[in-house]
Amino acid sequence: MGENIPREYPATVPHHHPFDPIRPDEISLATTILKASFPGVNLRFKVIDVKEPIKKDVIPYIEAERTGQPLSPPPPRLLFSYLHRLDTHAFLKAVINVDTKAVISLKELPSHIQGPVDVDEMIGLETVCLQHPRVIEEIAKLQLPEGVTVCTDPWIYGTDDENEHRRLVQFYMFIVPVDHPQSNHYSLPCTFSPVLDANTGELVRIDYLPTGGDHSTTETQPWKPVKAVEYAHDLIETPLRQDLKPLIVQQPEGPSFSLDGQLVQWQKWRFRVGFNYREGLVLYNLTFDGRNVFYRLSLSEMTVPYGDPRRPFHRKQAFDVGDVGLGITCNQLSLGCDCLGHIKYFDGFRIDSQGRPVHLRNVICLHEQDAGILHKHTNYRNGQATVVRNRQLVVQMICTVSNYEYIFAWVLDQAGGVEFETRATGIMSTIPIDDDKGLDLPFSTPVGPGVSAPFHQHIFNLRIDPAIDGFNNTVVYEDSVPLVPEEHGIDDPYGVGYVARTTVLDRAGFSDTNVELGRVFKIRNDSVINAISRKPVAYKVQTVASQRMIMSSRSFNARRARFHEHPVWVTRYQDDELFAAGEFTNQSRESTGVDKWAARGDDILDKDVVFWHTFALTHNPRTEDFPVMPVEKLSVHFKPSGFHEKNPALDVPSSQQAVNKSTLVEEAAKAACCN
């Protein structure tokens, strides 16, 4: 840990943009200030990161930027920190003003609050667990052959007891069949699982895992060797395919975007790439053709509850944003592996437990892609066609949360559209099973010898802070319903008429998708009227209609993640309301998030509103999802809807062979033949 700060990075940075991510000099400054606040006390730092700027202060600044006016001074630059006093074990939250170098708030959090897991903690505990005599003793019972070892994935403990205030970690143990950096230990789960107190390092107990159709467990037995289902190309027995030919994306004139620090400009879009330890990638201040569209876009939370009721699996419920942080689980990406074409990478910084900056290289990538046709029309009378290709800009991060991978991308298009794409891949969480008894667990899919992947759900919440032609907006939904002659004053003798029925959300709260009514949500600005449609300018949200959490509403799983209850929540904007399940999710007992804020019932007509979209993937594993899972994709789309007077991509040049240089297969074959 604690990699060197690159030399080219300026030691002090006089001026930041309010949306810039944290820099190493700021981390060092904060650490110094905090240490000075606790003379003689040893501190353990969990997080130091930028605190969101106060919105009312930042709006004049970004509006001046947008309209080309002289800039006022930026709003105060604030940082926050989560930290532990090692003397009292108190968990603290501090807020620091970088400009004044002052601690402006410092509070000790109640003892039932657990901060997120940090990297040093995770790695440190792994060692503590594996070196614990009781664990060593348990491993010995496996009587593993020479060269076969054991490793452990520390897991978020979850919650099943209102009164449990210890910081606990569940260690799932796996057999590593071969000394190879990509050996798939998830194929060989052990049947015992230590629980440690993360603060004291004490072993609380060893849980034994049920392997059959009920809750019963058995003592650790000698391992009966079975073959792991491997994914690494060195380890699989099938030869690799020989018939996949290279496909290269060339951009001889370079990419179509331009960069200035975190500022990106591309095809009428202008926005800032943000990064923090928790949400990872954040987009700020998106404008299209000089008009405001979104203030801030981020994945605010996700939770993954498992459907296996057997102890201790009933506690398996990760909040990958709140419990750990997408920013610290981001992959450091490699050229040519994760994207094609001309790639711009953005770096980030996190801290180690000493409060030192850790450089995270290439955690966000930015590139263009071709996505087929954007629009086409052929005049059938003469065959004359206009074809415009769908060039897109992709801003992507890939997060590894132990076994599993998420690929999150914001995809912008030339017609004002924004897509949030989630791809789930990686290795599913596995459990050991007795597979010699014709076992059929109704909540799990066998995926290899002695190993099964339990059913689970991925429940995401996207936080959309809109700015449709301004910062005060209104949320409505439109249903497509049969025309009612009496209401609309027109006969419909053949029963074919249908209309859009608009419902305005005037109070903060929630709303549901409705496939039968073709429900479409819109975020509009009632103060700006489109001259052609004669309606307020708007963006529509193509919500994902998906299953809610299946677990009982009395379960901790459901109570901790109330955001799952409705696909749409709308709140009145308040600073510090960022995360759908609340600020602290690790071992939380109930949500302190969007459900609470929505319950205020604030007036949200033509106000600064936040739109929260929950969508989910119920994942009952396929055998094909193991050992590593082909991506499962979900997409939420945001599209201008009466925002422009006409298609804003009419000015995109046509698709032409002179530019695209495609090859006719027959010609290529002929050429190859002549060589």
Q: Name which of residues 146 to 185 contact a second copy (CB under 8 A).
A: 151, 160, 181-182
628 near a second copy, rule: CB under 8 A: yes
Identify which of residues 76 and 341 has a Cβ nearer to a second copy in the complex: 341
529 near a second copy, rule: CB under 8 A: no
Three-class DSSP category at 71: coil
Both tokens of 428, joined, read: 């599913």
102 near a second copy, rule: CB under 8 A: no
Quick check: is 404 catalytic? Answer: yes
Three-class DSSP category at 120: helix
CB of 8 to a second copy, least distance (A): 12
137 near a second copy, rule: CB under 8 A: no
450 near a second copy, rule: CB under 8 A: no
Distance CA 570, CA 509 (A): 6
Q: Which of 2, 507, 645, 670 binds a second copy (CB under 8 A)?
A: 645
Give, as ranges, the residues between 566 and 625 that touch a second copy (CB under 8 A): 618, 620, 622-625
Identify which of residues 478 and 602 has a Cβ nearer to a second copy in the complex: 478
Question: CA of 585: how far to CAs of 157, 199, 333, 498, in Å?
Answer: 11, 17, 28, 45
Give, as ranges, the residues between 335 and 374 that touch a second copy (CB under 8 A): 335-345, 366, 368-370, 372-374
Give, as ranges, the residues between 273 and 292 that touch a second copy (CB under 8 A): none
Identify which of residues 33 and 173 has a Cβ nearer to a second copy in the complex: 173
564 near a second copy, rule: CB under 8 A: no
Q: Which of 465, 502, 512 is nearest to 612 (CA)?
A: 465
CB of 211 to a second copy, least distance (A): 13
Q: Which of 480, 503, 527, 574 binds a second copy (CB under 8 A)?
A: 480
Distance CA 513, CA 503 (A): 13
Distance CA 5, CA 25 (A): 10
Q: Which of 5, 447, 475, 610 binds a second copy (CB under 8 A)?
A: 447
Total chain residues near a second copy (CB under 8 A): 185
The Cβ of residue 63 has, within 10 Å, a number of other Cβ atoms equal to 16
Q: Which of 40, 241, 436, 673 binds a second copy (CB under 8 A)?
A: 241
Distance CA 589, CA 597 (A): 17
386 near a second copy, rule: CB under 8 A: yes
CB of 625 to a second copy, least distance (A): 7
CB of 297 to a second copy, least distance (A): 20
Q: Which of 308, 320, 323, 608 is catalytic?
A: 320
- Give 258's contacts (C-beta < 8 A, 6+ positions apart): 264, 265, 266
List of E strands, 356-443: 357-379, 384-401, 404-413, 418-426, 431-432
492 near a second copy, rule: CB under 8 A: yes
Give, as ranges, the residues between 12 and 41 that touch a second copy (CB under 8 A): none
- Identify which range of 271-279, 348-356, 439-447, 584-592 contacts a second copy by CB under 8 A: 439-447
* Rg, the chain, Cα only: 27
Three-class DSSP category at 560: helix
Quick check: is 320 catalytic? Answer: yes
Binding mask 205-234 for a second copy (x = CB under 8 A): --------xxx-------------x-xxx-
437 near a second copy, rule: CB under 8 A: no
Distance CA 571, CA 460 (A): 18
Q: How many CA atoms lie within 13 A of 579 on its CB side?
A: 23
Distance CA 481, CA 500 (A): 6
| DSSP class of 323 | I
CB of 442 to a second copy, least distance (A): 4
Distance CA 595, CA 582 (A): 9
7 near a second copy, rule: CB under 8 A: no
513 near a second copy, rule: CB under 8 A: yes
Q: 657-664: long-range contacts at Cβ-Cβ below 8 A with a sequence spacing of 24 or more? A: 660/389
Residues recognised as catalytic: 320, 404
